[in-house]
């Protein structure tokens, strides 16, 4: 059985960002609004820089959808960069525009700049930073939105909320998070009523403290990172597999989230904290109740494993947390670097930059979680048409309730 494949292309100041998602069944409803809603969520967040004020990201579905439903063929999506108007010469495809803008020769610590230029043999760091930029994640969010739409057909909800910014941690989170609780916290974090001064954290008091910390960092010309939780509810038992290292669902999710620019750590369930406790405090004991509807009768009263055991979903909500490092470009405290051409000590280049992007990062992590779960779901249940996928799913649920 095959799953989902995604690929993204595009430079930060190029004409457009494009992406393809392949492997979706036919007859799944999909609208541009399904995607634009997620793109808007990615653009939110207190502490974002000037670029987000220029862009109002909108998806254009180019292929794979007819009259509101998928065709089973690859879905290609384009997001035009509004800023292209200012970069049409500087990022031109034509050799006639060569040297239209000055080369970037001052590598920024914490970026792909120096190693990328060395590896790809460039004297102009722009050839690296344009693609390494987190602008690329716009496409990931668009493709993830398509995967979210697919998972919605099976009542799987994916959400996230911010748990810390800098050293301000939310302490309203209980250790064990149930589905209902997770969705409630997510709804609280989303409840910003169009106000861009959101940090996507559930508690208003923590939110004010985090906003004030970002304000202080801005005033000091510095930046901040933070942590967030991503979850998925109603994930059926048995996605992923124990049989080979690259089939393990926890491994796939960790890779997908770690691949997001500036993410430096991913934990599943209790994560690192589990290493400090006794086994009796960590494992989720098993209970059984005969199910009334077609579902798995075995359940847990705790979810320290974060919904994954042996590389497979165990029916409990999937819970991950991730850490984002502070934004590396500093306005007020330029970092020491060395000019690529002259080899003289200089200050790192400053390009319009975010102060804190943890709220956006959590939305991107939702998208990557959706891609991995849609892939694992389709690998398990297959189906060329959505009704076929559903029959396979229903049949499996029926089987589970009988064991």
Ligand X SMILES: Cc1cc2nc3c(=O)[nH]c(=O)nc-3n(C[C@H](O)[C@H](O)[C@H](O)COP(=O)(O)O)c2cc1C
State which residue, 78 or 135, has the beta carbon closest to ligand X: 135
Residue 8 binding ligand X, by CB under 6 A: no
Residue 305 binding ligand X, by CB under 6 A: no
CB of 51 to ligand X, least distance (A): 7
Taking the C-alpha atoms of residue 170 and residue 190, their distance in angstroms, rounded to an integer, is 16
Taking the C-alpha atoms of residue 368 and residue 150, their distance in angstroms, rounded to an integer, is 14
Helix axes 249-258, 358-381, angle to 10 degrees: 150
Phi and psi at residue 172, in whole multiples of 5°? -90, 0
Count CB neighbours of 205 within 10 A: 10
DSSP calls for 56-93 = ---EEE-SSEETTEE-SSPEEEEEE-GGGGGTTTTT-S
Report 16-55 residues binding ligand X (CB under 6 A): 49
Q: Position of tokens 């800023």?
A: 83
DSSP calls for 21-45 = EE-PPBT-B--HHHHHHHHHHHH--
State which residue, 26 or 164, has the beta carbon closest to ligand X: 164
Distances 31 to 249, 303, 320 between C-alpha atoms, Å? 29, 35, 29
Q: Apex CA 333: angle with CA 328 and CA 339, to 5°?
A: 70
State which residue, 116 or 383, has the beta carbon closest to ligand X: 116
Size of the site for ligand X (CB under 6 A): 21
Q: Of these, 80, 88, 127, 353, which contacts ligand X (CB under 6 A)? A: 353
Q: Of these, 130, 284, 354, 375, which contacts ligand X (CB under 6 A)? A: 354
Query: 274 Cβ partners below 8 Å, 6+ apart?
Result: 282, 304
Residue 327 binding ligand X, by CB under 6 A: yes
State which residue, 51 or 380, has the beta carbon closest to ligand X: 51
Taking contact as CB under 6 A, which single stretch among the options 9-17, 76-84, 166-174, 350-358 is the one that binds ligand X?
350-358
Q: Of these, 329, 337, 362, 369, which contacts ligand X (CB under 6 A)? A: 329
Site string for ligand X, 258-297 (x = CB under 6 A): --xxx-----------------------------------
CB of 245 to ligand X, least distance (A): 23
Residue 112 binding ligand X, by CB under 6 A: yes
State which residue, 12 or 26, has the beta carbon closest to ligand X: 12
Residue 335 binding ligand X, by CB under 6 A: no
Reference 18, options 156, 178, 131; nearest CA is: 131
* Structure-block tokens of residue 210: 């985090």
Q: Of these, 111, 131, 149, 300, which contacts ligand X (CB under 6 A)? A: 111
CB of 154 to ligand X, least distance (A): 28
Taking the C-alpha atoms of residue 400 and residue 71, their distance in angstroms, rounded to an integer, is 31
CB of 30 to ligand X, least distance (A): 25
Taking the C-alpha atoms of residue 39 and residue 363, their distance in angstroms, rounded to an integer, is 9
Taking contact as CB under 6 A, which single stretch among the options 188-196, 229-237, 323-331, 389-397 is the one that binds ligand X?
323-331
State which residue, 254 or 260, has the beta carbon closest to ligand X: 260
State which residue, 110 or 291, has the beta carbon closest to ligand X: 110
Reference 145, options 237, 295, 16, 37; nearest CA is: 37
Q: Of these, 321, 360, 362, 389, which contacts ligand X (CB under 6 A)? A: 360
Residue 106 binding ligand X, by CB under 6 A: no
Cβ-based burial of 369 (10 A; exposed 0-12, middle 13-18, buried ≥19): buried
Residues engaged in binding ligand X (CB under 6 A) = 49, 110-112, 132-134, 137, 260-262, 325, 327-329, 353-354, 357, 360-361, 364
């Amino acid at each position: 059985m095959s799953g989902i494949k995604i690929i993204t292309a595009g430079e930060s100041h190029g004409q457009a960002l494009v992406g393809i998602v392949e492997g979706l069944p036919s007859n799944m409803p999909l609208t541009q609004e399904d995607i634009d809603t997620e793109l808007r969520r990615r653009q939110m967040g207190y502490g974002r820089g000037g670029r987000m004020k220029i862009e109002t990201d909108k998806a254009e579905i180019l292929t794979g959808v007819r009259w509101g439903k998928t065709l089973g063929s690859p879905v290609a999506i384009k997001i035009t960069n509004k800023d292209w108007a200012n970069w049409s010469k500087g990022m031109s495809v034509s050799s006639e525009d060569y040297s239209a803008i000055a080369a970037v020769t001052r590598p920024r610590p914490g970026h792909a700049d120096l190693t990328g230029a060395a590896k790809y043999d460039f004297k102009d760091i722009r050839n690296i930073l344009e693609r390494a930029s987190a602008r690329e994640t716009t496409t990931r969010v668009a493709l993830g939105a398509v995967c979210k739409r697919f998972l919605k057909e099976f009542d799987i909800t994916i959400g996230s909320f911010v748990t810390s910014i800098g050293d301000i941690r939310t302490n309203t989170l209980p250790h064990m998070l149930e589905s209902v609780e997770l969705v409630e916290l997510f709804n609280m974090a989303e409840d910003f009523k169009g106000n861009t001064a959101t940090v996507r954290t559930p508690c208003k008091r923590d939110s004010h403290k985090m906003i004030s910390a970002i304000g202080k960092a801005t005033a000091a010309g510095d930046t901040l990172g933070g942590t967030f939780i991503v979850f998925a509810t109603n994930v059926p038992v048995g996605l992923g597999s124990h049989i080979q290292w690259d089939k393990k669902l926890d491994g796939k999710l960790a890779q997908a989230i770690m691949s997001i620019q500036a993410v430096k750590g991913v934990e599943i369930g209790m994560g690192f904290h589990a290493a400090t406790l006794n086994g009796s405090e960590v494992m989720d004991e098993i209970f059984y109740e005969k199910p009334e509807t077609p579902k798995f009768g075995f359940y847990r009263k705790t979810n320290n494993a974060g919904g994954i055991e042996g590389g497979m979903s165990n029916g409990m909500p999937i819970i991950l947390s991730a850490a984002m490092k502070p934004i590396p470009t500093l306005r007020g405290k330029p970092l020491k670097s060395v000019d690529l051409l002259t080899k003289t000590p200089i200050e790192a280049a400053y390009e319009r930059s975010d102060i804190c992007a943890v709220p956006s990062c959590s939305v991107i992590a939702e998208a990557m979680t959706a891609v991995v779960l849609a892939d694992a779901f389709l690998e398990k249940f297959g189906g060329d048409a959505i009704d076929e996928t559903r029959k396979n799913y229903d049949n499996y649920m029926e089987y589970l309730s009988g064991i």
